[in-house]
């Protein structure tokens, strides 16, 4: 898959803004300045809601329930840090100065990558999993927004752009999924629900 120039340009702008914010907040224990950041206590089993993300090594596990949304998990096997984002839409037109927002795939994944890089992880060293993007609109509704399909497409582009090592994928179809990442082992599980 080739890099699209508009995605590269957006990624560069978002990376520059994120780096500026991270430099200003270096050394803080709290999460990054991103809408959707989720704090965790040591050993906590986190459940992410749509638009939330988390990374680090403090929590024992992180999980989420998906429909048309997509979850991307990232794990660094040597440093034993990782995280997950649960995004609702692929991207948006972000105004200058606005913080990154976990509801949008490009911003959520970029924020996780930048924060994992603070832990000494390069994006090409990260193991990724991509889940979700179900078609949740019934045919009877007569409306076809293809949100799940667009979210999946964005997920593939981000995996390619950041050169993640992709280990697990379960996308599309019309079933909900529960995804969990064990932060002690890096094991990711995806359980499928019933077709809608």
pLDDT tens digit sequence for 73-125: 999 999 999 999 999 999 999 888 888 999 999 999 999 988 888 888 899 99
| pLDDT tens readout for residues 62-78 | 999 999 999 999 999 99
For the chain, give the mean pLDDT.
Answer: 83
Tokens of 146: 């293809």
Give Cα separations from 31 to 39, 47, 55, 100, 107 (angstroms): 6, 16, 9, 12, 15
Spatial separation of the C-alpha atoms in residues 78 and 187, rounded to whole Å: 14
Domains annotated for the chain, with CATH where assigned, are 5-27+43-192 (3.30.1330.200)
Asked if 59 and 151 count as a contact pair (C-beta separation under 8 A), the reply is no
Asked if 61 and 126 count as a contact pair (C-beta separation under 8 A), the reply is no
Spatial separation of the C-alpha atoms in residues 87 and 90, rounded to whole Å: 7
Phi-psi group of 184: left, alpha or beta (phi > 0 → left; psi -120 to 50 → alpha; rest → beta): alpha
| pLDDT tens readout for residues 15-28 | 554 444 444 333 33
Q: What residue has token string 């993300």? A: 53
Q: What percent of the chain has pLDDT over 90?
A: 58
Report the number of secondary-structure helices (H) and strands (E) in the chain.
3, 11
Question: Does pTM top 0.95 for this prediction?
Answer: no
| pLDDT tens readout for residues 5-18 | 555 555 555 455 44
Model confidence at 175, pLDDT cuts 50, 70, 90, reads very high
Of 112, 46, 29, 124, nearest in space to 73 by CA? 112
Q: What is the pLDDT of residue 22?
A: 40
Of 67, 65, 26, 27, nearest in space to 49 by CA? 65
Of 59, 83, 62, nearest in space to 73 by CA? 83
Q: What is the pLDDT of residue 140?
A: 56
pLDDT higher than threshold 60 for residue 53: yes
């Amino acid at each position: 898959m080739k890099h699209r120039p508009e995605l590269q340009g957006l990624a560069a702008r978002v990376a520059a803004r994120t780096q500026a914010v991270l430099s200003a907040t270096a050394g803080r224990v709290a999460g990054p300045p991103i809408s959707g950041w989720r704090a965790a206590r040591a050993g906590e089993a986190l459940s992410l809601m749509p638009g939330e993300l988390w990374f680090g090594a403090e929590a024992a596990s992180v999980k989420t329930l998906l429909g048309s949304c997509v979850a991307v998990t990232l794990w660094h096997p040597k440093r034993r840090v990782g995280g997950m984002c649960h995004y609702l839409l692929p991207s948006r037109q972000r105004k200058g100065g606005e913080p990154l927002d976990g509801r949008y795939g490009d911003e959520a994944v970029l924020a996780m990558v930048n924060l994992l890089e603070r832990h000494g992880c390069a994006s090409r060293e990260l193991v990724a999993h991509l889940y979700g993007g179900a078609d949740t609109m019934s045919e009877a509704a007569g409306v076809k927004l293809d949100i799940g399909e667009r979210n999946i497409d964005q997920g593939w582009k981000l995996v390619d752009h950041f050169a993640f090592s992709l280990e697990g994928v379960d996308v599309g179809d019309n079933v909900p999924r529960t995804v969990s990442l064990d932060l002690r082992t890096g094991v990711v599980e995806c359980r499928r629900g019933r077709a809608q």
